[in-house]
Amino acid sequence: MRNRRANRTATVLAAAGILVLGTASAAHADPPGNLPQNAGGYEQAFSPAFDYDGDGCYATPAIGPDGTLAPGLKTTGAINGSCRDQWDLDNSQTYARSKCNNGWCGIVYASYFEKDQAVHGSGLGGHRHDFEHVISWVNQASDQVDYVSTTQHSTVKTYPRSQV
């Protein structure tokens, strides 16, 4: 009887250990590798320059070449935890699409972030997975960006070239 109880206890502890290790590794999975370059010359010519300050995640791929989706990160711990290292910077990904009409071209640049966290150590006000956008408004007559729109959460702001 004592031997059965010891075996059962060992089995339960081993199963719990596997569960903990399996869950921990999935929680910190790296995002997928970036997609090959596919943006045309127009999208590249007017692409924005991003300034990543000292906090927050770098933009990473939302989906990999094999269809793997980014797992995202929990909104706990450090604001820049597990999403601001050299791998993330080397594999940074921004998606671009453009449409021209009536003398204007709008080029939408979409960046995916593994988490949006505002308060260190707390998930309050944050969420897993975040897309933010920059739109370059190109005047076809002058072939220059006259306006830039940016998103932050559900807000879109548009600025004239003189303010960018």
Residues 11 and 86 in one domain: no
Return the pLDDT at 41: 85
Same domain, 69 and 15: no
Question: How far apart, in whole angstroms, are the C-alpha atoms of residue 49 and residue 99?
Answer: 20
Task: Provide the domain count of the chain.
Answer: 2
Same-domain status, 84 and 147: yes
Classify residue 161 by its DSSP letter.
G
Residue 60 to residue 156: CA distance in whole angstroms: 22
Same domain, 8 and 44: no
pLDDT at position 94 is 93
| One domain for residues 7 and 88 | no
**What is the widest separation between alpha-carbon atoms in the chain?**
88
- Mark whether 11 and 69 lie in a shared domain: no
Same domain assignment for residues 16 and 86: no
User: Do 94 and 111 contact (CB within 8 A), yes or no?
Assistant: yes
In this structure, the answer to whether residues 26 and 96 fall within a common structural domain is: no
Q: Return the pLDDT at 16.
A: 41
10 Å CB burial of residue 31 (0-12, 13-18, 19+) is: buried
In this structure, the answer to whether residues 25 and 39 fall within a common structural domain is no
Residue 3, domain extent: 1-30
pLDDT for 28: 57
- On whether both 62 and 130 belong to a single domain, the answer is yes
CA angle, residues 39, 41, 47, in degrees to nearest 5: 70
Same domain, 3 and 62: no
Give me the average pLDDT of each 10-residue run along the chain (164 residues).
47 41 48 88 91 83 94 86 85 94 98 87 82 97 98 93 94
Predicted local confidence at residue 19, as pLDDT: 39
Question: Structure tokens of 30?
Answer: 């790296």
Examine the domain organization and report whether 87 and 139 are in the same domain.
Answer: yes
